[in-house]
C-alpha cells in the first residue's frame, strides 16, 4: 500500500434482483379480477383465463396477460398457455359444470405435467360453504361432516377432493377456501336495488333461509394474501363473515341506505320476500351457521367487513355523489 493513500474499498456484492411473483388465475371473473388488480398494484405478474375476446381485452387493459380458454372444448389443452408454466401461484375460480364436473380436472394429465414441472409454490381452489348441506342451523367448522344436497354442491365437493388429490405428491402449499355468498362493489344488494332488477328465481328460493353465509370480496383477497405467508401442505378454510343474516334483512338495510342518500332512486324495490307459487315446497334445506374461527386463528385474518352492514356501507360510500349510479343512465 502506498503511504498516505487509502486502500480502494472492495466493491459491494451485487444483489440478485428477485423476480416478481407470478399469479395465474383460472377464471378471472368477479373474484379473480379483484385479486388480479390488487396483486398487480403490489408489483406481481398476473396471468389468467377468461371466456371471451371482449373480457380478454378488459383484462389486458388492467395489465393481466390473458388467454381465452374453454376447458369444456374437446380439443382443450393447457400446453398453449405458456404463462401457466411460469406461475408461482395458482388460483382456481372456475365453478363445476353440471354433467361435466370441474372442467380443469378433466385435463388431468396436462395439469399434472405442468404443475410438476413448473415453479408452483401455492395453489388455492375457491369452493363454497354449500358443501355442508343442511345442518339444522348448527354452527359448522371445517371438521364438520360435509353433506351436499344440491347437484352444484355435490360437484363442488368432488372438485375439492380432485384438486387435493392432484397436489397430493407435490411440494407446495394447497388451500381450499369454502366461500360464503360473494358480494362487493358492483355486485351487492345495493346494486340490485339501484338497477331496479327483479330477483331471479334462484334468489327467491333463498329468501326463506334463516341463515346466509356471505363474504366481501376484499376479505377474500385478505385470505388469499394471508395464506401465501403460511406453509401448509393441504388445508381447508371457511371464508365467511361474522353475521349469517337472512337475505331479506340485508336487502332491507340496503334499501334504507339508498333511501337516505338517494331518496328518488328507487321507485319500487324488488320484493325480496315474494316467491313464486309453490316455491317454498321445492327449496333444498341448507340451514347452517358457518364458523370462521380457523380463518382468524390460523391465518390471522382480521375482517375488513365482519358484517354486511360494514360491507354495504363501504360500497355506497364509493358511489359518486354526482351520479352515474351503477346501471343507471342519465
Percentage of residues in the chain having pLDDT higher than 90:
59
Say if residue 188's pLDDT is above 50: yes
Say if residue 236's pLDDT is above 70: yes
Say if residue 286's pLDDT is above 80: no
What are the CA-CA distances from residue 321 to residues 114, 145, 258, 265, 309 (Å)? 49, 48, 12, 12, 20
CA–CA gap between residue 207 and residue 101 (Å, rounded): 27
More confident residue, 56 or 326: 56
Task: Parse the chain into domains and list their residue ranges.
Answer: 22-183+216-241+290-304
Reduce the secondary structure of 219-288 to three states and give it as a string.
HHHHHHHHHHCCCCCCEEEEECCCCCCCHHHHHHHHHHHHHHHCCCCCCCCCCCCCCCCCHHHHCCCCCC
First to last CA, the chain: 81
CA–CA gap between residue 96 and residue 155 (Å, rounded): 6
Average pLDDT on 23-41 reads 97
SS3 123: strand
Q: Assign 287 a pLDDT band (cuts: 50, 70, 90).
A: confident
What are the CA-CA distances from residue 150 to residues 31, 147, 213, 254, 324 (Å)? 23, 10, 16, 29, 39
The pLDDT, as a whole number, for residue 74 is 63
More confident residue, 17 or 159: 159
Average pLDDT on 11-25 reads 66
Range name among 65-79, 87-101, 127-141, 315-329 with the lowest pLDDT average:
315-329
pLDDT in tens, 240-283: 999 999 999 999 999 999 999 988 887 554 454 444 434 343 45
* 8 A C-beta contact, residue 155 and residue 202: no
Question: Would you state the cell numbers that stand for residue 241, as one nine-digit string?
Answer: 363473515
Question: Would you state the cell numbers that stand for residue 147, as one nine-digit string?
Answer: 353433506
Reduce the secondary structure of 7-68 to three states and give it as a string.
CCCCCCCCCCCCCCCEEEEECCCHHHHHHHHHHHHCCCEEEEEECCHHHHHHHHHHCCEEEE
In total, the chain counts a number of residues equal to 330
Listed in sequence order, the DSSP H helices in 143-216 are: 151-166, 189-194, 201-205
pLDDT in tens, 110-150: 888 888 887 899 999 999 999 998 878 889 999 999 999 99
User: Which residues have a Cβ under 8 Å from the Cβ of 228 and sit 6 or more positions away?
Assistant: 89, 122, 173
CA–CA gap between residue 42 and residue 218 (Å, rounded): 15
User: Which residues have a Cβ under 8 Å from the Cβ of 292 and sit 6 or more positions away?
Assistant: 238, 239, 240, 241, 242, 303
Say if residue 198's pLDDT is above 80: no
Average pLDDT on 219-245 reads 94
The pLDDT, as a whole number, for residue 29 is 94
CA–CA gap between residue 92 and residue 107 (Å, rounded): 14
The pLDDT, as a whole number, for residue 328 is 53
What backbone torsions phi and psi does residue 96 show, to the nearest 5 degrees? Answer: -65, 155
Say if residue 47's pLDDT is above 50: yes
pTM of the model: 0.85
The pLDDT, as a whole number, for residue 199 is 54
Range name among 1-5, 70-74, 166-170, 292-296 with the lowest pLDDT average:
1-5
Nearest to 154 by CA among 205, 96, 75, 207: 96
Q: What is the CATH number of domain 22-183+216-241+290-304?
A: 3.40.50.720
The pLDDT, as a whole number, for residue 281 is 38
Amino acid at each position: 500500500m502506498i503511504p498516505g493513500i487509502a486502500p480502494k474499498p472492495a466493491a459491494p456484492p451485487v444483489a440478485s434482483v428477485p423476480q416478481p411473483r407470478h399469479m395465474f388465475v383460472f377464471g378471472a371473473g368477479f373474484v379473480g379480477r379483484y385479486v388480479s388488480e390488487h396483486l398487480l398494484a403490489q408489483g406481481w405478474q398476473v396471468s389468467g383465463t377468461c371466456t371471451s375476446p371482449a373480457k380478454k381485452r378488459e383484462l389486458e387493459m388492467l395489465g393481466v396477460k390473458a388467454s381465452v380458454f374453454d376447458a369444456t372444448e374437446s380439443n382443450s389443452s393447457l400446453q398453449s398457455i405458456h404463462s401457466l408454466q411460469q406461475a408461482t401461484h395458482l388460483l382456481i375460480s372456475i365453478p363445476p359444470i353440471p354433467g361435466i364436473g370441474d372442467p380443469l380436472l378433466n385435463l388431468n394429465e396436462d395439469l399434472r405435467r405442468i404443475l410438476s414441472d413448473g415453479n408452483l409454490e401455492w395453489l388455492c381452489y375457491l369452493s363454497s360453504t354449500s358443501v355442508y348441506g343442511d345442518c339444522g342451523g348448527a354452527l359448522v367448522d371445517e371438521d364438520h361432516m360435509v353433506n351436499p344436497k344440491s347437484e352444484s354442491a355435490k360437484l363442488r365437493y368432488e372438485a375439492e377432493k380432485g384438486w387435493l388429490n392432484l397436489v397430493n405428491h407435490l411440494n407446495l402449499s394447497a388451500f381450499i377456501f369454502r366461500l360464503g355468498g360473494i358480494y362487493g362493489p358492483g355486485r351487492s344488494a345495493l346494486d340490485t336495488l339501484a338497477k331496479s332488477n327483479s330477483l331471479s328465481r334462484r334468489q327467491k328460493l333463498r329468501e326463506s333461509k334463516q341463515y346466509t353465509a356471505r363474504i366481501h370480496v376484499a376479505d377474500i383477497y385478505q385470505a388469499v394474501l394471508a395464506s401465501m405467508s403460511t406453509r401448509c401442505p393441504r388445508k381447508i378454510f371457511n371464508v365467511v363473515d361474522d353475521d349469517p343474516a337472512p337475505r331479506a334483512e340485508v336487502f332491507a338495510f340496503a334499501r334504507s341506505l339508498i333511501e337516505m342518500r338517494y331518496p328518488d332512486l328507487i321507485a319500487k324495490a324488488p320484493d325480496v320476500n315474494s316467491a313464486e307459487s309453490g316455491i317454498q315446497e321445492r327449496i333444498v334445506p341448507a340451514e347452517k351457521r358457518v364458523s370462521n374461527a380457523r380463518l382468524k386463528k390460523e391465518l390471522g385474518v382480521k375482517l375488513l367487513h365482519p358484517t354486511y352492514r360494514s360491507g354495504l356501507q363501504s360500497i355506497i360510500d364509493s358511489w359518486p355523489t354526482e351520479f352515474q349510479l351503477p346501471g343507471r343512465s342519465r
